[in-house]
Structure 1
Amino acid sequence: MSTPGFGAGGEVPAVFPDWSPYQDLDSAARAYLRDPDVALEALGGVLRGAAVLGFTLERFVNEVNGVWQEVVVCDGSRLVLWHGEDVPPGDGPAGSMTSSLRVVPLSTITEVGCRRRLTRTPTGPARVDSIDVYLLLSSLDEAAQGDDTPGPRHDALRFGKTLDDGGAGQIARLEEFARLVASMVGRPTL
């Protein structure tokens, strides 16, 4: 794994290139992720040539851990999620990161929700300035089993974009991804 140098001292910028113009996963990942080769290799090992019907990407800088990255791919029967995150200082050698995969069959998604926040422009038409998407799963959230929680809670996947965090293109692409998944939930898979 190599980390490209960004600015003075190798600092990672808080604003990343826009991935939304790229229709294919490879190009979008290479434009947006810090570690596209790690992500694409991990995803490729699970997808094994399956068609990528849609995807969404996320990346941000965490003040404690450094860079946090995520790719979610829909291949028509499942979601394949890759997550990469820098290891906090002291938890491993400098430059260490985790790379995780999760596969979620579409049959386990029980609900898809999409909330758009609209702002009226001075000329009257409304524009979308943020989007929040959730996918409720039939599995239970293990973190919700503690003493402070009144009972089991269903696991959920959550995604969001704003004009400041991603821009209009990524908002539109996340909404497109949510519609794709919603169109497949509850239908028989081949």
Structure 2
Amino acid sequence: MDRMSRPSPGGGDLPAVFPDWSPYQDLDSAARAYLRDPDVALDALAGVLRGGRVMCFTLERFVNEVNGVWQEVVVCDGSRLVLWHGEDVPPGDGPSGAMTSSLRVVPLSTVTEVGCRRRVTRTPGGQIQVDSIDVYLLLRSLDEAGSSDEHHIGPRHDALRFGKTVDDGGPGQIARLEEFARQVASMVGRPLL
């Protein structure tokens, strides 16, 4: 895959086009192919998963013009969603090269709704193809930030949101995110064994 680069806050170049993780069925290989800091992510996740089964996962990475690289891994082990998030610290907020590494565990029992919206287009030959997907997982917990919508008063439920497009991830990652949403949806609301 061709790589473009853009300047990073620290002065070096960061890839603007990342390798495709979608061909990799195991988390370790996908993370090592796609994330800038796979060892940090995998170490944090291993501390929670403790060798447990990874049912499905999705990955995200982009370059933020202010902070640098933003990375995320979401793993479902059948009873929980384990989310790892890594983000470069903005210039002036820490030493050069510093990043945050955050972990969040969400029990599947707190997911109340799974939504998936696909945008489909037709090729000149009439074939339907998916060119973007947006997935949300609505949680019982309340969003700490509150509502920025002037028409909505009061707290809102927390939600996890994920998206892929043909330009940001390609068809393989769109399909993998849809697979992730379907697998999580198939487990929500069922008794845990």
Q: TM-score, normalised by structure 2?
A: 0.92
Contact 2:6 2:16 in 1 (8 A): no
The SS at the match of 2:171 is helix
Is 1:167 the counterpart of 2:170? The answer is yes
SS in 1 for 2:39: helix
Residue 73 of structure 1 aligns with which residue? 75
Percent sequence identity is 84
Of stretches 41-50 and 147-156 in structure 1, the one that deviates more from structure 2 is: 147-156
Describe the superposition over 1:4-40 as per-residue Cα deviations: whole angstroms up to 9, x where unpaired: xx89963111110000000000000000000000000
Amino acid at match of 1:124: G
1:181 is aligned to 184
Which ranges of structure 2 fall in alignment gaps of 5 or more residues?
none
Structure 1 gap segments, 5+ residues each: 1-5
Separation of aligned partners in 1, 2:52 and 2:157: 28
Aligned length: 185
Task: Give CA deviations for 1:60-79 in whole Å, capped at 9, x if unaligned.
Answer: 00000000000000000000
1:8-157 → structure 2 map (5 Å cutoff): 10-144=12-146, 150-157=153-160
Q: Give the distance between the partners of 1:179 and 1:49, measured in 2 at CA.
A: 23
Cα separation, 1, equivalents of 2:112 and 2:29: 31
Cα offsets for 1:106-125 (capped at 9, x unmatched)? 00000000000000111111
C-alpha separation between the residues in 1 aligned to 2:16 and 2:116?
26
2:14 partner SS:
coil
Superposed CA offset, 1:94-134 (max 9, x none): 00000000000000000000000000111111100000000
Aligned mates of 1:38, 1:25 — CA distance in 2? 13
Which secondary structure does the structure 2 equivalent of 1:180 belong to?
A: helix
Q: TM-score, normalised by structure 1?
A: 0.94
Q: How many Å separate the matches in 2 of 1:65 and 1:147?
A: 26
Q: Secondary structure at the match of 1:91?
A: coil
Quote how far apart the aligned CAs of 1:150 are: 1.2
SS at match of 1:84: strand
> What residue identity is the alignment partner of 1:24?
D
